Structure 1
Amino acid sequence: MNFDIPAELKALQEKTRRFIAEEIIPFEKDPRVTAHGPTEELRNELVAKAKAAGLLTPHASVELGGLGLDHFAKAIVFEEAGYSTLGPTALNIAAPDEGNIHLMEAVATEAQKERWLKPQVAGKIRSCFCMTEPDPGAGADPSMLQTLAVKDGDDYVINGRKWFITGATGASYAIIMARMEDGSATMFLADMDQPGITVERSMDALDACFTGGHGVVSFNNLRVPAADVLGEVGQGFRYAQVRLAPARLTHCMRWLGQARRAHDVASAYARKRQAFGKALGEHEGVGFMLADNEMDLHTSRLAIWHCAWVLDQGGKGKNESSMAKVICSEAEWRVVDRCVQVLGGQGVTAETIVARIWSDMRAFRIYDGPSEVHRWSLARNIMKPPKAAH
């Protein structure tokens, strides 16, 4: 594994860093940043800036208008974008669109790409991914899927209810996971403005970083033509893994940028703030927290880069992405939590960006599988008998 950053990628890293600092961070206190995420107006303004800078949707293929970044390159650029709470929105790499773009490019037909993917890569539309359901439906255990799709002539009729659907309000289309009558699962594509789809409400959440917030969505006799099946009928769970393994990793990349931002704010404060006759950071209680931050940031970056390397080598990366998700979500959370402590009163108010990052990041330990599920999955693999040596 060679983790040296090539010169051209180093230049892209510096370009992204300057763009975020000069063009995006000034918008962080814009009143259009609401409790349910940046408004569509603000998103469009930020996307236009990224497009003008040549940084829009960098993970999409060059043929579709992106930069065609591999996983290691994404790790570099996404961390820089994540340095601002609005950076992923600007670059069109925020969840769920980033993962949906990856899935659509891998699985969708040419007609589906023309209809939905190309305008999405151009930043003109957003999407949502409808899998999570209220109890007793699918959550961390997707096999509990309750939303049902029944074949009716050339169509499928879908009924069910989803919740915590990120970006649902204002999304142009949805990828819907539904159970078939034989118990398998299938993904369907549907425009959100058609009869049969209702966004019931937006859910109040700790985070405020996703345009469209988190919605409750119901499907009532939604008719989806067979041409709008995503991939093959009955292969929904397999396609979910195509999406989730890289999506877990890109969460780690973006939040690493946020954690680094919080650490930079806390470190600057610890150097300047005086307490008991010396700089705050010169007290071991504070200095050790900053040292622990450096180690957690370093460990997270190595975990991300290793998993990115596995994926770039053609590996499935399922175990590696699970490990990276747990390592990074917990380490990066520790960094931000320590920063709140170092900042004291500054850390629990909007005087700095850290309180906002703290609130946004807490859910990272739950998104795309809580830490406990990933540990359980890894433990099951550990308990399998070792393969015989040849």
Structure 2
Amino acid sequence: MFPELSEKAQNLIKVLTKFVDEECIPSEQRFEEELGTTEQQRFGSEPPVVEELRVKARKLGLWNLFLPSNYKESFGLTNYEYAHMCEIMGKSPMLAPSATNCNAPDTGNMEVLARYGNEDQKKKWLVPLMDGKIRSAFAMTEPAVPSSDATNISTSLTEVEGGYLVNGRKWFIGNGSHPNLKVFITMVKSGNTHKEYKELVKKSTLGERHLQHSVVLIPKDTKGVRIVRPMKVFGFDDAPHGESEIIFNDVFIPKENVVLGLGRGFEIVQGRLGPGRLHHAMRILGMAERSLELMIERGLNRIINGTPLIEKGVIMDWISKSRIDIDSSRLLVLNAACAVDTKGTIMSKKEIALAKISVPNAALRVIDRAIQAHGAMGVCQDTPLAYFYANIRTLRIADGPDEVHSFQIAKNEVKQARARISNKSKI
């Protein structure tokens, strides 16, 4: 049984639903028009409509809803309660998350700073992020190594007088080209030669390979930081945020820009990616739900040979299958959110992985049916369906490909089975 939503959460859901349906979705066309067409226009400034929506959202109390209640900076919601709201935001992924300051990757970055940052780091970066004045990027993925395993990250951190030099190449870095980007929270390889390493090995339960990486803060305007280009995903550039390629060339940072300590990078990344994967799954449900709505509307309004498309048996079958896909996926998401609330992120890896694999695949089936029902209109810019499909298809790779999580799930099942068999043999 899932817990009952608090009165506070129920009221917020009503306000947020109205805000998304009546403010965000109707503003999407204006958002696209204000973005412009050239790269300079699309990444030169944020469309004015976004700030207008932010002002409205703050007045409605729809701001920074994401941080769980165990943080002092929290709005006061549980992960389970936020899951319901994140789904609503997912119906307008290009506007609603940004309007409420609940957009990735800033949410994950704010949680990193709230959980692992010191007071100076919080004052300099967390406060303006939570106020919506700046944007941040999480620079982890690299083109030269399989980044699904964080221990492969090769961007180097080299100690020099007064601090460190960072050298490496990152890509598909969300917010990497955002005009308001101010800081990269960056995964680097600090190696096993620094003085803290041997002490970490003695104290940590992680293997030695998992203690050779660190997370550092790199201000965007630091000498040696070069934003090469916004990467396109199925032709979409994700403006004004960008999924960008970044080069760090002898970038100097002071020692106080290390988060938590040298060698603690894997610990931080694991703490960040769990909630991030869950937030993605939550938003995906909203995209799937809106896609189903569009498919039904198309079926009702499209007339073929004198009868509505919806009277075709195949459309009714698609609607039924889509409802099953969405509702069963929602159960996995809510179950994972409850697990995080009760057991914590680390102990909820299985539940998060189940949602991370299942939900995008189910949503893609829903969107694909909606595209098919729309015909040519489904693959062009006249509906959000093509954008939804590109966005969600990418998430089967981002934050670890399906196969990595699937293998881990199976590995744990086999481990449990062997334990059962061993116990039976002892009886």
Runs of at least 5 residues in structure 1 that lack an aligned partner in the other structure: none
Q: Which residue of the partner structure matches residue 386 of structure 1?
A: 419
Give the C-alpha shift of residue 5 in structure 1.
3.1
Deviation per CA, 1:92-147, whole angstroms, max 9, x where unpaired? 22211111111111111111111000110111110000110112x24212222111
Q: Which amino acid aligns with 1:49?
A: K
Which of residues 285, 294, 300 is equivalent to 1:271?
Answer: 300
Larger CA deviation: 252-261 vs 343-352: 343-352
For 2:374 and 2:277, locate their aligned partners in 1 and report how far apart those are by CA, in whole Å: 30
User: 1:17 — aligned with what?
Assistant: 17
- 2:240 and 2:56 map into 1 onto residues whose CA distance is 17
Structure 2 equivalent of residue 67 of structure 1: 75
What is the SS of the residue equivalent to 2:169?
strand
Q: Does 1:246 align with 2:275?
A: yes
Distance 2:393 2:120 in 1: 39
Q: Deviations over 1:279-338 (max 9, x none)?
A: 322222111111111001101110000000000003321121111000101011111111
Cα distance between partner residues in 2 of 1:249 and 1:33:
29
Residue-by-residue CA offset, 1:211-251 (whole Å, 9 max, x unaligned): 32111111111122121111121010111010001100000
Shift of 1:382: 2.4
Partner of 1:84: 92
After superposition, the CA RMSD in angstroms is: 2.2
What does the per-residue CA deviation read over 1:53-86, in whole Å, with 9 as the maximum and x for residues that have no partner? 2212212378876523211111011111111132
2:393 maps to which of 358, 362, 369: 362
Corresponding residue to 1:197 among 215, 221, 225: 225
Q: TM-score, normalised by structure 2?
A: 0.85
Q: What is the number of residues matched between the two proteins? A: 389
1:58 counterpart = 2:65:
yes
How many Å separate the matches in 1 of 2:281 and 2:90? 10
CA distance in structure 2 between the aligned counterparts of 1:3 and 1:343, rounded to whole angstroms: 39
Distance 1:53 1:201 in 2: 37
Q: d(CA) in 1 for partners of 2:67 and 2:368?
A: 33
The DSSP-based 3-state class of the residue aligned with 2:419 is coil
Greater alpha carbon shift after TM alignment, 44-53 vs 319-328:
44-53
Q: Distance in 2 between matches of 1:371 and 1:213?
A: 23
Specify the alignment match of 2:170 in structure 1. Answer: 162
Asked whether the 8 Å contact 1:197–1:219 carries over to 2, the reply is: yes
> 1:115 aligns to what SS in structure 2?
helix
Q: Work out whether 1:151 is the aligned partner of 2:165.
A: no
Find the residue that maps to 2:395 and give its secondary structure: helix
CA distance in 2, matches of 1:111, 1:360: 35
Q: How many Å separate the matches in 2 of 1:204 and 1:381?
A: 36
Match of 2:128 among 119, 133, 137: 119
- Once residues 177 and 367 of structure 1 are traced to their aligned partners in structure 2, the CA distance between those partners, rounded to angstroms, is 16
Q: Does 1:303 align with 2:321?
A: no
Q: Rate the CA distance shift 1:304–1:312 in 2: closer, same or farther, 3 A.
A: same
Deviation at 1:197, TM superposition (A): 1.2
2:202 equivalent in structure 1 = none
The change in CA–CA distance for 1:210 and 1:238 in structure 2 (over 3 A counts) is farther
- Structure 2 gaps, min length 5: 193-208
CA distance in 2, matches of 1:8, 1:117: 25
SS of the equivalent of 1:29 reads helix
- TM-score normalised to structure 1 length: 0.93
Alpha-carbon contact 1:163-1:215 (below 8 Å) kept: yes
Report if aligned partners of 1:149, 1:178 keep a CA contact under 8 Å in 2. yes
- Counterpart Cα distance in 2 of 1:148 and 1:242: 22
Q: Which amino acid aligns with 1:15?
A: V
> What residue number does 1:105 align with?
114
**Aligned AA (2:215):** M
2:185 aligned partner, one-letter code: I
The offset of 1:152, in angstroms, is: 2.0
Change (3 A) 1:372 1:209: same
- More displaced 10-residue stretch of structure 1: 112-121 or 353-362: 353-362
Q: 1:378 Cα deviation (Å)?
A: 1.5
The aligned residue for residue 56 of structure 2 is 49
